[in-house]
Amino acid sequence: MSGIARGRLAEERKSWRRDHPYGFVAKPETLPNGTINLMVWNCIIPGKSETDWEGGYFPLTMHFSEDYPRRPPKCKFPRGFFHPNVYPSGTVCMHILDEYSEWRSSITVKQILMGIQDLLDTPNFANPVFAERSQIFFMVSDNENFSSHFENLMGIVSIRYEFGSFLLF
């Protein structure tokens, strides 16, 4: 593992433990033998208050490469997560995660997770990864009954997530 990547991720972990937004979880993967894998982080993004996402907890995995922070992490929701800016594989498509566009090595885990939380409620319709999902989202969001349709679109598993072994610290 790159010394630069490991050092940066260790600092990110310390910073996160000292100060992170309420309701968010981000922690490195613990392997079966008890060692910490700094290259994979298990995260929870809470739905933003006063949106249709409020009350939901959305699992996300961040995969860091040996080239981090020169290259952004791959951020993935569970396969099949329904959103115009999420591929069927669960990979998030967001401008600050594009290494050829707006990625900067100074962007933190905290900024990424808060950006994804914002993206959930305000999709980038100009750059959808799935045109059909974008059209459905756009049509339903214009409808007064958006909330009633929303849970059906997302699926119960995506809306309510049990914390399981995640600890808020």
Residues with active-site annotation:
93
* Distance, CA of 45 to CA of 34 (rounded, Å): 25
* Distance, CA of 93 to CA of 75 (rounded, Å): 9
Give the torsion sign (CA, 116, 122, 126, 132): positive
Q: Which amino acid is at 46?
A: P
Q: Residue 60's beta-bridge partner residues?
A: 43
Q: Which DSSP category does 91 fall into? A: B
- Listed in sequence order, the residues at least 6 apart from 134 whose beta carbon sits closer than 8 Å to its beta carbon are 84, 123, 125, 128
* Distance, CA of 88 to CA of 77 (rounded, Å): 9
Least Cα distance to 93 among 57, 67, 131 occurs for 131
